[in-house]
Structure 1
C-alpha cells in the first residue's frame, strides 16, 4: 500500500511541475524572444540578426543577442604556440 501511495505521489508531482528545456542554446549567437497570451518564449537558432529579424517580422517578437553563446574557438595565442622546452 505504501509503494502505491508513493508511486501516485511521484506521478502527481511530476505531472504538476513539468521540466522546461534550456532556454538559450550556446551554439547560436542570436535568439528570438516571442511574447504571447500563454507566456513568453525564447528560441535560439539563428546565426545572424538579419535572419532572426526575418522571423520576427509581423509578430510580437524581438531578436536578442544570446548571452550564453560559446562562440568560435579562437585557437591558441602566440604565447601558447611557442615551443616549451
Structure 2
C-alpha cells in the first residue's frame, strides 16, 4: 500500500510539473546574456562582453561567451615545395 502511494505521488508530481523548455543559443553572436528569474533564458545578441555587461547593469543577469558561436578555423597547413614535388 505504501509503495502504491509513493507511485501515485510521483505520477502526480510529474503531471503537475511544468513542461521543460530546451535551452537554445543563437549562433549568430559571440556573447549571450543569461537572464535569471521565474523563467530564465539566454539572450544571444551581443557583439562583446563589454556591450552585454553595460546592458546588464541593474538586471538580474550575467554575460557569458556563447559556446555555439563558430570560431574562425585556423588555415590549413601549407604544403612545402618539397612535399609537392615528392608527391608527383
With the length of structure 1 as denominator, give the TM-score of the two structures: 0.59
**8 Å contact kept, 1:34–1:41:** yes
Which whole-Å CA distance do the structure 1 matches of 2:74 and 2:37 have between them?
38
For structure 2, the 5+ residue unaligned runs are 1-18
Superposition RMSD in Å = 2.7
Q: Distance in 2 between matches of 1:74 and 1:50?
A: 26
Q: 1:44 aligns to what SS in structure 2? A: strand
Larger Rg: 2
- How many residues of Structure 1 are paired with residues of Structure 2 in the alignment? 65
Looking at both structures, which has the greater relative contact order when contacts are Cα pairs under 8 Å and sequence separation is at least 6? 1
What is the TM-score of this pair, normalised by structure 2?
0.57
